[in-house]
Chain A
Amino acid sequence: MILSEADTLLAPVTQIDGFVLACLVDASTGMVLASRQNQGEISLPTAAAGAADIAHVLSLLAGQLAMNEGLEDVMVTFSDHFHVIYPVSPDPEARILLLVVLDRARTNLAMARREIRTFCMNFAS
């Protein structure tokens, strides 16, 4: 992470059931701005880079399709984990992404998604 004092910003997300890791990523450069991690089983830099790559691919898709829409969220389901990606920027051209990785066995995805959305709304307003 690059801004160590920014890690406290992520404290609310760590309360979500099944929390594994969370980080804020600058989507334009892929730089990790802040991070929190409960378990070391997942490489944080790789997960963050993957979130930035996904955002990059989706921006290419939106560009090529000329979609007049903003990205709301991305959910990736692996056999053991959920990866939830949320833009936290209040403007539609989101620059900062929130990635939350959750343990599938201990997470209610609907509840988690609601908590993440609330966190992002509070974060930006």
Chain B
Amino acid sequence: MSQLPKFSLARQLTASVWPGKAADDYDSLLAARFHKLAAAGSTGVLPFSGAGDGAIYFRDGEIIFARSTRTPGPPDGTAAGETPYIRLAAALAMAEPTVDATAELLITESRFTKFRPARTPVSDTAPGLGVEGLLSEVARRRRILAQLAPVVTADSTVARIPQLRTPDIRVSTLQWALLIRVRDGSTPRSLAWELGRSVFSTTLEIYRLLALRLVSSAAQRGHRNGHDPEYGPATMSFVRAVSPEAVSPETVSPEKGSSMPADDLAPRGGSGPDA
């Protein structure tokens, strides 16, 4: 016999089927819709509207493509070749924009409307992503974005730091491509559109440039009272994003500001004045 209070039990039972207004209902409703479409082996499109317009395309119950007006789409062409690496890289080039768009649609809690079945999928060749894996990946990304939220979000303005603090430094090709494009009003999202890369991966790369103290973010500049950030940002950890004690996804939307405990957001092991 359950020891849960009656109200909690009723709320759990109805969470996935009742369109209530509580904050955690959106994820449950969407997961239920996705699982239903997957179980039915559906082919067609699930349109979204609201904070971010877009759509998620299904083929035989798997997600093959997603688009959002707030994230770049896949590249026009993919490298041809027969090595496993090239095949995997091509699949990743298609999958990453789909995961990025899905994450954006879910994070902004865009409204999904009636599923429109289709006889033929939008693509026969795009790699199919399992619903369960995709939802887990989106939840993981939301937790990572929550870690970054105190210092940078996809919509934070960033600026180059003019003075190098070390005599030598090395950046990757991608980091260099980002650095030379940073100008007044640049955000990770605008840079992602310029480079045709996912917003999530661009935000992470900007974070890495913050850690190298090559750029600063508006959040950092505000926090440091207008001075150049002397200390690096809070530590980002992929492990913390998948650990069992990771915060629940509904607390981490950077669009609404993080509601994580302050202790989780403080710089770890840093030597800064706030550490």
Which A residues form the contact surface with B (CB < 8 A)? Answer: 1-6, 9, 24, 26, 28-31, 33-34, 43, 45-46, 49-50, 52-53, 56, 59-60, 62-68, 88-90, 93, 95-96, 122-125
Contact = CB atoms under 8 A, between A and B. Distances in A.
Interface stretch (B111-119, B153-161, B166-174, B251-259): B166-174
Nearest to A28: B201
B49 to A, nearest CB: 26
Contacts of A45: 136, 140, 242
B212 A63 contact: yes
Contacts, number: 111
A53 B201 contact: no
B130 A4 contact: yes
Nearest to B236: A56
Interface of B: 83-85, 88-89, 91-92, 95-96, 99, 127-130, 133-134, 136-137, 140-141, 144, 166, 168-174, 198, 200-201, 204-205, 208, 211-212, 236-239, 241-243
A5 B90 CA distance: 13
A125 B134 CA distance: 29
A6 B90 CA distance: 12
12 contacts: A29-B96, A30-B238, A31-B140, A33-B91, A45-B136, A46-B243, A53-B239, A56-B208, A63-B169, A63-B212, A96-B92, A125-B83
Contact of A30 (B88, B89, B92, B241): B241
